[in-house]
Amino acid sequence: MKKDDLIISNKKYSSRLIVGTGKYKTMKECAKAIELSGAEIVTVAVRRVNILDKKKPLLMDYIDPKKITYLPNTAGCFNSKDALRTLRLAREIGGWRLVKLEVLGDKKNLFPEMIETLKSTEVLTKEGFKVMVYCNDDPLMAKRLENSGACAIMPLAAPIGSGLGILNKVNIRIIRKQTKLPLIIDAGLGQASDATIAMELGCDGVLVNTAIAKAKKPFEMALAFRNAVIAGRLSYISGRINKSLMGEPSSPEKGII
């Protein structure tokens, strides 16, 4: 098969699965699940994951940033000011410029606050950041984010951690059709088949955290998502058959004995 890499900000990745590092019982469990998932990018909540205090377990001791791309994110930020400060801190700590922007509107639903998100994207891109943006599934807002300089669009499938799967396939298809940027489903997936559906809709990748970390068997679920993303991608690029209301025989109609 022809090599089919995911390209984000001019860097190639073999895996189209991005995995979060939160909610696991231990960092050791987190590291093992990520290994099994085959992910080459992991999200790191700068405000929550320990990457500084050497007296406590450091994420770097379990996940090598030289082998796995760290994607600092702004989880827990509810306004542009906090998000900007968090990512500037990430740049100072580790020199990270490829980042995931996440500005939430409230603590109950965890929907993205799109006005603050758009404003933050404009500022960060001007400062030289490569911004992957968590957003709602509004095609118009996704286009505005693209025009503001985002390097990837990351619409939610459903509310964060809900496990509901993709609730609005139509909007995801529209966003796919109108953008040339990497389109990555972020938030709300619950099982491996959700990832397959996302990939069959034409998404370039999926980001998963809770569905793996909180599964009864995280290691098995990590492997399931790995295979699901591969299957969905192959299905999409293979080109599905047209849908029909009527049946069509599988065997030839001519030359029947």
- How far is Cα 257 from Cα 253, in angstroms, rounded to an integer? 10
Q: Which of 23, 100, 119, 217 is catalytic?
A: 100
Residue-by-residue DSSP string for 33-101? HHHHHT-SEEEEETTTS-SS-TTS--GGGTS-TTTSEEEEE-TT--SHHHHHHHHHHHHHHH---EEEE
To the query of whether residue 32 is one of the catalytic residues in this protein, the response is no
Degrees (nearest 5) of the Cα angle 109, 82, 68?
85
Contact 146, 154 (CB under 8 A): no
Distance separating the N- and C-terminal Cα atoms of the chain = 39
Task: Name residues whose C-beta falls within 8 Å of residue 110's C-beta, 6 or more positions apart in sequence.
Answer: 104, 159, 160, 161, 187
- Tokens of residue 247, six digits: 């049946």
* Distance (Å, whole) CA 42 – CA 75: 13
Residues marked active site are found at 100
